[in-house]
Amino acid sequence: MTLLVKNPIDAYVGAQIKQRRTIVGMSQTELANRLGITFQQVQKYEKGANRVGSSRLYEIAEILGVPIQSFFEGVEEVIQAKNSKKADKRTKDSTLGKFDEFISSPNGVDMIKAFVEIEDPSVRKQIAALVKSVSRAP
């Protein structure tokens, strides 16, 4: 029996797809129908169990109204964690749990919707830096 090991980048891109789909208020079924696939396939993409091909990722970006590169914003941190021997699985699971909880909350969705409306990349970067610094404050 072979164990399936998710590629961290595939999982990250899948999480980004889920995040954007949630922000626009689209169900997995609706996205699947527009792609001509099953909602189970969308679930697999979002969990990182199945890799999203480039043409399919392009379609998803168009349907969700984002540039394709937005699915890779922040992926550098995932690569660093993958390459780091210090990555603690419990911390990772805890962070993902907090992320899912946040993205599912009304405040989280409102914050994400407002953030994606900011068109200036430098302003987005400054806001992200501010939030990071505040989150580390005692």
In-domain check, residue 1? no
Segments of the chain scoring below 70 in pLDDT: 1-5, 81-96, 137-138
* Per-residue model confidence (pLDDT) at position 84: 65
In-domain check, residue 114? no
Closest residue by Cα to residue 131 from 110, 107, 115: 115
In-domain check, residue 30? yes
| Domains: count for the chain | 1
Read off the CATH number of the domain in which 41 is found: 1.10.260.40
**E strand map for 2-95:** none
Contact between 23 and 112 under an 8 Å Cβ cutoff? The reply is: yes
Contact between 28 and 38 under an 8 Å Cβ cutoff? The reply is: no
In-domain check, residue 22? yes
What the block records as the tokens of 96 is: 């993902």
- Per-residue buried b or exposed e for 48-73, using 16+ beta carbons within 10 Å of the residue's own CB: bebbbeeeebebbbebbebeeeebee
pLDDT tens, position by position, 107-119: 888 888 888 899 9
* Per-residue model confidence (pLDDT) at position 4: 56
In-domain check, residue 53? yes
- Domain that residue 61 falls in: 8-87
* Per-residue model confidence (pLDDT) at position 66: 95
